[in-house]
A and B are shown apart, each in its own frame.
Chain A
């Protein structure tokens, strides 16, 4: 009788441990979600839609700092800065790349709406900085001429 009881206790302990483990990995997964649908889009409009932005207004408060001519498309430095209060996300889109969306940054409160990174560009293209603030979407565009593409080759 006693042995059975012990077995049951052991078994339920194992189930509990397993369940905790599952919850834990689910939480990690939620933290590290990757918007596959958005990263597979192939146009400015489609990416906006996949990011959950129906329409976007061009805004001078979103600033893109990048070279006018990039000699090497594999490394193009891009800085995006937003002066719109409550900026929550900054996305970088490259219109003529095989996949439009390059990066989507989430800006928590306390972090400046400012980001610099380096991207690859397949060819001369418009790049867009898309900013979401207060439930609205704003963007800025800039054309960068590429002399040597950053993909394939």
Chain B
């Protein structure tokens, strides 16, 4: 099981500013290991962010997102104390969901 995400969500004016760092190899499927064998692709394909039951961001990713992916974005409609819930699923069907409470500005 992958390590938890590190999520920071805080108010910036009337918007919620979210920074998230995920723990994932993001293997491209192009790299060879020491014995010359191709390392199979293993990467996050879908990311969904919700707050108060509403999707505030969703993404589809390819193999060229960096290892331990980072994302930064802003949305309206959240307030301090609300939860930001982030989930990902990778090409092997592994998934992880983490949440953070929005901190005051």
Contact = CB atoms under 8 A, between A and B. Distances in A.
Contacts of B6: none
A63 interface: no
A136 interface: no
Contacts of B30: 98, 151-152
A152 B66 contact: no
Interface in A86-112: 94, 97-99, 101-108, 110-112
Interface of B, secondary structure class, is strand
Chain A interface residue bracket vs B: 35 or more
Contact of A151 (B31, B46, B60): B31
Given A32-B89, A117-B70, A120-B28, A110 B64 contact: no
Nearest to A98: B30
A108 B56 contact: yes
Interface residues of B, number: 33
Contacts of A35: 60
A115 B60 contact: no
A153 interface: yes
A103 B48 CA distance: 13
B28 A106 contact: no
Nearest to A31: B48
A46 interface: no
Contacts of B32: 152
